[in-house]
Amino acid sequence: MTRVRTAFVWIVAATLVMWLSAELPLWLGGSATRRFGDAFMQGTGVLAIVLMSLSLMLAARPRIVERWMNGLDKMYRLHKWLGIANLIVAAVHWQAYGFVRSAELDAGTSAAPIDGWAGFAEAQHDTAVFIGDQAWKFVLVLSILALVKRFPYRLFFKTHWLFVPTYFVLIYHSVVLLDISAWTSLLGPVLGIVMAAGIWSGIVCLWRSFRVTDDRAIGNVVGITYHESVRTLELEVQLDSRWKGHEAGQFAFLSTGEEAPHPFTILSAWRGDGRVSFLIKELGDYTSTLSRTLKTGDEVKVEGPWGTFDFASDAPRQIWIAGGVGVTPFIARMRHLGEHPDGKLVDFFFSTPQSYPEGDRLLDLDARAAGANLHLHFSDEAGLITAEHVAAIVPDLANADVWFCGPAAMGAALKSGLVKLGLPPVRFHQELFEMR
């Protein structure tokens, strides 16, 4: 989360600094007649288009950014923050234009012709304003649909691409209405590069949405096991040569039939044979139907792998904490360590409401093979697992790394408690795993 916050603050701060570098000469010049309303409208407009451009760039899922952000989950979190910030700033910009336009109508405007780019922009002014006004309303609707979790994922996936053509329209709006003086300042070329990157990212997103290019690995279902007592499906697929392998802890986007791709953590360790397994908890309309609709031989498509929940650290000891279906990356890691031990001391805490004897037995077998100490915690009997529970078994928190996967609230409480007990904050690793 630190990098998410840092990136967000730097994006906003750098944009405002560049805007001020273009704006200050208009205020400090000897004949300066710059109005505050004009400046405020330009500043909010610049910030809004930068936020939307960078949000779209993250939606294209560039691998280099994913590595810097420590995972696609963090990158999507920043994408969401930028989208919400853009919505707020654009609303302020839209309102600011109303005030400025009212002042212009009261003062009257000059009809003197203007040559060059300034003249072209002036001629396009009303059209750009009208288009921007309509596009803003469309962005508002799309943003609300994206943020409302009750809006079905399959419909969210099918409508979210509409942001791209709306963004293209807003590029025209921004280019025409940005003061010509801004284009000749530091802001101009930087904004041009950001917009160009946004346009290219939009094209990439459209290619993906309409499958003009498809780099997903294709495979078939070769194994299905349904654990009815915990409403969880274990799915094994055989993929073609486009799947180049994965690390324990990573996830992939799985597509079945005509359904939109959904992200699931990979259960299996990679052995180079194209076999990949997923553990899928019934949490919504789509996942609740898979046990009834999928059958052996069905075609699936898998895109990935993604994520940096890779257990890499220089600490001599690791503490793993899983909640519910968050156990998946740890199973994959245990299976990997069973074949490739790394010598680290591992304590694995698995919190689940009740005991599931068969699942508990399999976990114990994997833990023994990996050399990990398994600690089962049944919350219906013992209450929620706390930092004190963990520290009672592993008191040397200062020399340990904690890897957590589970409900966000549970992770926040554990991190806060463990830090108070001596864990360095940077040693708490968490998969956010929220794609909208």
Q: Are the C-beta atoms of 352 and 379 separated by less than 8 Å?
A: yes
DSSP state at residue 378: E
Does residue 416 lie in a domain region?
A: yes
Q: Taking Cα atoms as reference points, which of 391, 325, 402, 338 lies closest to residue 369?
A: 338
Contact 224, 234 (CB under 8 A): yes
226 and 291 housed in the same domain: yes
DSSP letters, 121-166, are: HHHHHHHHHHHHHHHHHHHHHHHHHHH-TTS-HHHHHHHGGGHHHH
Q: 239 exposed, middle or buried (CB, 10 Å; 0-12, 13-18, 19+)?
A: buried
- How many Å is the Cα radius of gyration of the chain? 26
Beta-bridge mates of residue 235: 224, 278
Nearest residue to 302 (alpha-carbon basis) of 242, 218, 212: 218
Count CA atoms closer than 13 A to 233's CA, side-chain side.
Answer: 20
Contact yes or no for 146/129 (Cβ under 8 A): no
For residues 178 and 47, membership in a common domain is answered with: yes
The whole-angstrom distance between residue 433's C-alpha and the CA centroid of its chain comes to 8
334 & 285 share domain: no
Amino acid 410 reads M
Q: Name 223's bridge partners.
A: 236
Indicate if 285 and 413 belong to the same structural domain.
no
Beta-carbon contacts of residue 357 (< 8 Å; ≥ 6 apart): none
Give residues with Cβ within 8 angstroms of 14, minimum separation 6: none
- Residue 109 CA to chain centroid, in angstroms? 46
Same domain, yes or no: 117 and 150: yes
Q: What is the pLDDT of residue 433?
A: 63
CA distance 241 to 249: 21
Per-residue confidence (pLDDT) for residue 85, from 0 to 100: 95
Instruction: Choose among 306, 321, 372, 376: nearest CA to 342.
Output: 372
- What was the pLDDT predicted at 222? 92
In a domain, 21, yes or no: yes
Closest CA to 189 of 200, 197, 82, 169: 197
- Whether 206 and 161 have beta carbons less than 8 Å apart is answered as yes
| 328, 232: one domain | no
174 and 57 share a domain? yes
Give the pLDDT of the chain (436 residues) as one tens digit per residue.
Answer: 578 889 999 999 999 999 888 887 776 654 455 677 778 888 899 999 999 999 999 999 898 888 888 888 888 889 999 999 999 999 888 887 766 665 554 545 544 455 555 566 677 777 888 888 889 888 888 888 888 877 777 777 778 889 999 999 999 999 988 888 888 888 999 999 999 999 999 999 888 777 655 678 899 999 998 887 778 888 999 998 889 889 888 889 998 877 778 888 898 888 888 899 998 887 777 788 888 888 899 999 998 898 888 888 888 899 999 988 888 899 989 999 988 888 889 999 999 888 888 888 889 999 999 999 999 999 888 888 999 999 999 888 888 999 999 888 899 999 999 999 989 888 999 877 665 5
If asked whether residues 138 and 193 sit together in one domain, one would say: yes
DSSP summary character for residue 299? E
The answer to whether residue 335 is domain-embedded is yes
CATH code assigned at 376: 3.40.50.80
Show Cβ contacts of residue 22 under 8 Å, excluding neighbours closer than 6 positions: 179, 181, 182, 185, 186, 187, 188
The letter for the amino acid at 356 is Y
Helix %, strand %, coil % of the chain (to 5)? 55, 15, 25
**Token pair in block for residue 419:** 């830090």
Q: Convert 218-274 into a string of H (helix), E (strand) and C (coil).
A: EEEEEEEEEEHHHCEEEEEEEECCCCCCCCCCCEEEEEECCCCCEEEEECCCCCCCC
For the chain, the first-to-last Cα distance in angstroms comes to 16
Residue 58 domain-assigned (yes or no): yes
Residue 105: predicted pLDDT: 47
Q: Is 317 helix (H, G, I), strand (E, B) or coil?
A: strand
397 three-state secondary structure: helix
pLDDT of residue 111: 47
Backbone angles phi, psi at 427, to 5 degrees: -95, 10
Whether residues 101 and 24 fall in one domain: yes
Q: Which of 177, 209, 241 finishes a domain?
A: 209
Q: Is residue 436 part of a domain?
A: no
Check whether residue 171 and residue 235 sit in a common domain. Answer: no
Q: Is the pTM of this model over 0.95?
A: no
Q: How many domains does the chain have?
A: 3
Q: Does residue 286 sit in the same domain as residue 165?
A: no
By the 10 Å C-beta count (0-12 exposed, 13-18 middle, 19+ buried), 273 is classed as exposed
CA distance 388 to 393: 9
According to DSSP, the residues that pair with 299 across neighbouring strands are 220
**Token representation of residue 129:** 């304003």
Q: Which residue among 209, 227, 255 closes a domain?
A: 209
Sign of the four-CA dihedral 61, 64, 65, 67: positive
Residue 312 lies in a domain: no
Do 30 and 63 fall within a single domain?
Answer: yes
The answer to the question of residue 435 being in a domain is no
Determine the pLDDT at residue 119: 63
- Give me the DSSP letters along 177-196: HS-HHHHTSTHHHHHHHHHH
Domain span at residue 361 reads 317-430
CATH (domain of 22): 1.20.120
Last residue of a domain, one of 175, 209, 243: 209
Find the CATH number of the domain harbouring 298: 2.40.30.10
